[in-house]
Amino acid sequence: MIDDDVLIGPRLTLRAPRLDDADALFERIASDPEVTRYLSWTPHPNVDETRRVINELFNVGVERTWLIELRDGGPVGLCGWRQPQPHAVELGYCLSRQWWGQKVMSEAVMLLLDEAHSDPRVYRAWAVCHVDNTASARLLERCGLAFEGRLVRYGMFPNISTEPQDVMMFAKAIR
């Protein structure tokens, strides 16, 4: 991602994560087992791992990650998408527990949908969440993605089980 690829909403700025965000990201998000419970990765053991992820994994290839910054609140979350096919983006996101339930991620996801729509090649935005992840399901519906079905044994959730888990698929046609 180019450094000036910034998305601005009423309360939020979405920008590329930098190495000097590592301490805040580790403390607020990456080390918290409640935040990572339904994610595809386990909590980071130390801030060095957060630095490595910022350096080596974010914004590589078809993956785009924005850091969510609250005005006056600093880094509070991450969001972005993977784009394995040019016509569709798969959304992902996580937020510091302190800010849950205040519509922060609703604002961030709406910014992502606007940004995806600005690319004329993108027709579909979608996301899957673990069947027990009610907060994520409600968020997606609130942002206009419709429930498309339950996909059995679809995803790996290393904090839940060693066996693949059922997920809910949500999607929206953006043109």
**Which range of residues in 6-14, 68-76, 126-134, 144-152 is near ligand COA by CB under 6 A?**
126-134
Q: Does residue 157 belong to the site contacting ligand COA (CB under 6 A)?
A: no
Please report whether residue 101 would count as binding ligand COA according to CB under 6 A. Answer: yes
DSSP 23-43: HHHIIIIIT-HHHHTTSSSPP
Q: Which stretch binds ligand COA (CB under 6 A): 6-14, 54-62, 130-138, 150-158?
A: 130-138
Which distant-in-sequence residues (6+ apart) come within 8 Å of 164 by Cβ? 153, 154, 155, 156
Q: Does 42 bind ligand COA (CB under 6 A)?
A: no
Q: Give me the residue label for tokens 């991620």.
A: 105
Quote the longest CA-to-CA distance of the chain. Answer: 42
What number of other Cβ atoms are within 10 A of residue 29's Cβ? 24
Binding flag, residue 55, ligand COA (CB under 6 A):
no
Of 30 and 54, nearer to ligand COA (C-beta) is 30
Region binding ligand COA by CB under 6 A among candidate stretches 2-10, 48-56, 96-104, 146-154: 96-104
Closest alpha carbon to 128 in 97, 99, 92, 159: 92
129 and 38 in contact (C-beta within 8 Å)? Answer: yes
Paired residues of 75 in beta bridges: 69
- Residue 134 makes contact with ligand COA by CB under 6 A: yes
- Region near ligand COA per CB under 6 A, out of 3-11, 15-23, 116-124, 138-146: 138-146
Q: Interface with ligand COA by CB under 6 A: which residues?
A: 35, 38-39, 93-95, 100-106, 129, 133-136, 138-139, 142
